[in-house]
Amino acid sequence: MKKNSKRHQKNKKNVLNKEAYSLSDAVKTIKGITKAKFDETVEVAVILNKEKSKGEGLSRGYSKLPYGTGKKLKIGVFASGDKIDEAKKSGADVVGSDDLIKQVKEGKIDFDIAISTPEMMKNLGVLGEKLGPLGIMPNPKTGTVTENLSKVIKDIKEGQIQFKSEKGGIVHAGVGKMSFSDENLISNIKGFLDAINKSKPDIIKGKFINKIFLSSSMGPSLKIGSVK
């Protein structure tokens, strides 16, 4: 078994000194104990109150982070006719119709997020097994099935992210970079949590978010007790 590095062991000890952190303290702590040589992503994991639901797909939607993610996403668009030109002019990285569907079926997925016009959705069913596991299948609930391609592409480039709860009722997302200021990270995190709360289905009674954890790409997870 691979032995954990001294830095990892030190980080774990630091975290165990405190059961739960305020959001501001967690951001400061993450920055203080992480010493990677690259600009790590700051990640949030949320455990939902799933009650009788299985949790998967319980929460889904999108959140526009005020200060973006710090990562440039490649956008793929399924469209036809004039919508192809609209997508290209709006800055989409990969645009196509049946030709793009064929590429994806062959396993050539050269984008991080997918958008589709409503007209093209009837042809995308064959891509479920390719795009579904990656969490990027276009869906009206996440705003990625639209006639207004220019607006959605602009929103994504300005920091809009998709989210969807996985098995066990867990939602996670990258919400910025370690190089972001504390204030900007906190604003992004609060925006993300607010979007999750707004996605609460009627079947769930009481609070929707049970637990929140903050981490960096290479660091440990810190439990958040308060986001005020």
Range scoring the smallest mean pLDDT among 51-65, 71-85, 92-106, 131-145: 51-65
Structure confidence at residue 52 (pLDDT):
64
What domains, with CATH codes, occur in the chain? 6-69+160-226 (3.30.190.20), 75-157 (3.40.50.790)
Residue 4 has a pLDDT of 46
Helix axes 149-157, 82-89, angle to 10 degrees: 20
CB pairs under 8 A, 24+ apart, for 148-152? 149/77, 149/79, 149/83, 149/86, 149/87, 149/90, 149/92, 149/115, 149/117, 150/86, 150/89, 150/90, 152/115
What percentage of the chain carries pLDDT values higher than 90? 60
Considering the entire predicted model, what is its pTM? 0.74
Reported as a single tens digit per residue, the pLDDT across 85-143 is: 999 999 999 999 999 999 999 999 999 999 999 999 999 999 999 999 888 999 888 88
Q: Which residue has the higher pLDDT, 224 or 9?
A: 224
Pair 78, 120: CB distance under 8 Å: yes
pLDDT confidence of 36, banded at 50, 70, 90?
Answer: confident
Cα–Cα distance, 61 to 165 (Å, whole number): 10
Q: What's the rounded Cα separation, in Å, for the pair 41 and 52?
A: 33
Q: What is the mean pLDDT of residues 188-192?
A: 96
Label residue 16 by pLDDT band (50, 70, 90). Answer: very low
